[in-house]
Amino acid sequence: MGQILTRLSRRLALSVAAVSFALLAVAGCRSNTASDRATTAVATREVPRGGELLASVRSEPRSFNRHAARDTTTNLVSNLTQSRLIRVNQATQAVEPSLAESWTIADQGRRVTLTLRQGIHFSDGHPFTADDVVFSFEAAYDEKSGSLLADSIQAGGRKLQVTAPDPHTIVITFPAPFAPGIRILDTLPILPRHKLDAAVKAGTLTKAWGLDTPPAEVVGLGPFVLREYVPGQRLIFARNPHYFLKAPDGGALPYLDRLVLEVIPDQSAELLRLESGQLDMMTSEIAPEAYAPLKRAADQGRVKLLDLGVSRNADGLWFNLRPGALGGDGRAAWLQRDELRHAISMAVDRRLFADTVFFGAGVPVYGPETPANKVWYWPGLPQIVHDPAAAKTLLASIGLIDRNGDGLLEDAQNRPARFTLLTQKGRVNLERGAAVIRDELTKIGLTVDIVALDARAVIDQILHARYEAIYFNADKGDLDPGTNPDFWFSAGTSHMWNLEEKAPATPWERQIDDLMTRQIASADMTERKALYNDIQKIFAEHEPIVYFVAPRIYVAHAARVTNLTPAEYRPQLLWRPDTVAVSR
């Protein structure tokens, strides 16, 4: 199956585009005076207007406010209702204009002057100016509010200086050399000061726009506005009549009149609705077992099936490494050891994992990057050999041995070597992957209890460090590692195994902090790659997240959906929602 529908030429194009952008970012001093390229790569043929698109999400949003939550549905709501200064094209990895129509770069990339589009209004009709941009940065940086986006719009751990010389100009000064440059601006939604200023002043930004907020209060610059939210069932969006981007023919965007997100936690139910024509698309990839029936439906012309290549992110297993989080019964003495994670990495047969979980449509991975990241993936990373005997020897070195001859391991206090593994209910690849991990570890004497929770509950356990181990997807948002400080830096809000450390908890995390600081400051691409290779090597030496297999990404949509720009990153078919259309 992994050979079906391969698109080698498309992946090569992505690779060339990514390398080209990386070199441009390092050069850092060219003026961008491009006109509206927001619809680049979208066909210029006549596109149908109007109609309603039905898409599915597997969990409800945790908030309507991206500053308060990082789950995929909250992020999708933000992309539908909010806009950024610039946009990273997920299909080409190029930086495109958005609210900023052009920019110039000076002082070796340290100062960027952005020219904003004029005549733009928020969805409630209030004028948009540079003051809203300044406010959005202030809101993200407000320590009382505790925005989850603060660390993702910093350079070297320090805030950007943002000023507005006039209502249509923004000047951003980086506090230190920062190789990714304006790429990080894709992270920050531009918010309305007139709606949220009071919340920021009160230090309650992350409490604003919760799920109990009337939809009309959620104001933005995005292509859609939230019209209705039915908890546990659906979110309904209508086109924003004030949306600023235009179609190639000069007409208004978005093309759609309405977009409905149905909450369908079960992948099988999603598949049945897509096959039967009750759904236009899913906002994430299809499960491997869905390929065969969808291929039949595609052959009959009812759906279109696309192979987008290997995922840039792989699901991973991590333990709670926060000091003191596992209680005082002494089990942390082995649950938080590097040796345990290395033993698990050796005990799980990655080829078996790919065949069982992804029906062969996946590639083994041994670190935080997959082959999809053509620029930053390091093929020289040591590959872990499947060796259960060596895994048992490693476990014995930390006191986990079979003390009573029953085939199961016990610790030094004669307690079973047992832990609970959380994963997401209804996500077949996660549930099946957790089962493979459990079965493989049983062979070396470790006992694993799987607990499947809904996505909101899993994320809640992560945020409050109430777990022993988790098998989940720790997405990194962008291909350039310099734009993922929330994952890499020990103080980061996505430093999954120990969120927001006050200071590096281990010497190796301090090493990564130091290397990342140098990596994002370097103007030399060769040096940046060498430093990131060192970071990946340190990561592999400690395996805070154990990765097994990166799946191939297959997506499907109803035949009536058109004008798509597919990309491997979620939501693969809806990351550019303003240009999606449906025939009627």
φ, ψ (nearest 5 deg) of residue 417: -80, 90
In a domain, 159, yes or no: yes
84 and 206 together in one domain:
yes
pLDDT tens for each residue of 114-165 = 999 999 999 999 999 999 999 999 999 999 999 999 999 999 889 999 999 9
Domain limits for position 414:
316-551
Contact between 166 and 118 (Cβ < 8 Å):
no
pLDDT for 551 beyond 60:
yes
CA 22, distance to chain mean position in Å, is 20
Between strands 86-88 and 95-97, the pairing is antiparallel
Span 286-338, pLDDT tens digits: 988 889 999 999 999 999 999 999 999 999 999 999 999 998 788 999 999 99
Q: Which of 155, 178, 212 is the last residue of a domain?
A: 212
How distant is the alpha carbon of residue 87 from its chain centre? Answer: 15
| pLDDT score recorded for residue 475 | 80
DSSP-assigned letters across all residues of 516-549: HHHHHH---HHHHHHHHHHHHHHHHHH-SEEE-E
Give residue 15's pLDDT.
35
In terms of domains, do 207 and 328 share one?
Answer: no
SS3 100: strand
Q: What residue type is 358 in one-letter code?
A: F
Distance CA 426, CA 445 (A): 28
Residue 46's identity, in one-letter code, is E
Q: Do 338 and 201 share a structural domain?
A: no
pLDDT in tens, 1-35: 333 333 323 333 333 333 333 333 333 333 333 33
Burial 70-96 (b: 16+ CB within 10 A, else e): bbbbbbbbbbbbbbbbbbbbbbbbbbb
Do 508 and 368 belong together in one domain?
A: yes
pLDDT, tens digit, for every residue of 66-107?
999 989 999 999 999 999 999 999 999 999 999 999 999 999
Asked if residues 254 and 239 have their Cβ atoms less than 8 Å apart, the reply is yes
Judge if 203 and 342 occupy the same domain.
no
- What pLDDT is recorded for position 532? 98
Q: What percent of the residues of the chain are helix, what percent strand, and what percent coil, each to the nearest 5?
A: 35, 20, 45
Q: What is the pLDDT of residues 33-49, one digit of tens each?
A: 333 333 333 444 689 99
Query: The domain spanning residue 120 has which CATH number?
Result: 3.90.76.10
Residue 267 belongs to a domain: no
Q: Which long-range CB contacts under 8 A does 15-18 form with residues at least 24 apart?
A: 15/374, 15/375, 17/92, 17/93, 17/94, 18/93, 18/373, 18/374, 18/375, 18/479
> 413 and 538 in one domain?
yes
Rounded Cα gap, residues 528 and 481, in angstroms: 10
Cβ(310)–Cβ(290) below 8 Å: no
What residue has token string 């006191």? 399
- Domain for residue 85, yes or no? yes
What pLDDT does 426 receive? Answer: 86
How does residue 266 score in pLDDT terms, banded at 50, 70 and 90? Answer: confident
Q: What mean pLDDT comes out for the span 438-457? A: 96
pLDDT at 449 over 90: yes
Cβ within 8 Å of residue 482, ≥6 positions away: 178, 179, 180, 183, 184, 516, 519, 520, 528
Burial category of 102 from C-beta neighbours within 10 Å (exposed 0-12, middle 13-18, buried 19 and up): middle
Q: Is residue 304 one of the residues assigned to a domain?
A: no
Sign of CA dihedral 158, 164, 165, 168: positive
63 pLDDT above the threshold of 70:
yes
Q: What is the pLDDT of residue 42?
A: 41
pLDDT recorded at residue 268: 87
Q: How far apart, in whole angstroms, are the C-alpha atoms of residue 461 and residue 449?
A: 16
Q: How many domains does the chain have?
A: 2
Q: What is the pTM of this model?
A: 0.84
Residues 17 and 163 in one domain: yes
Confidence (pLDDT) at 6: 32
d(CA 476, CA 135): 26
Sequence-distant (6+) residues with CB within 8 A of 474 are: 313, 316, 318, 487, 494, 496, 545
Q: Which range (192-196, 266-270, 272-276) has the least confidence? A: 266-270
pLDDT tens figures, 384-415: 999 999 999 999 999 999 999 999 999 999 99
Q: Is residue 365 part of a domain?
A: yes
pLDDT score of 424 more than 50: yes
The arithmetic mean of pLDDT across residues 178-183, rounded, is 95
Bridge partners, residue 551, by sequence: 362
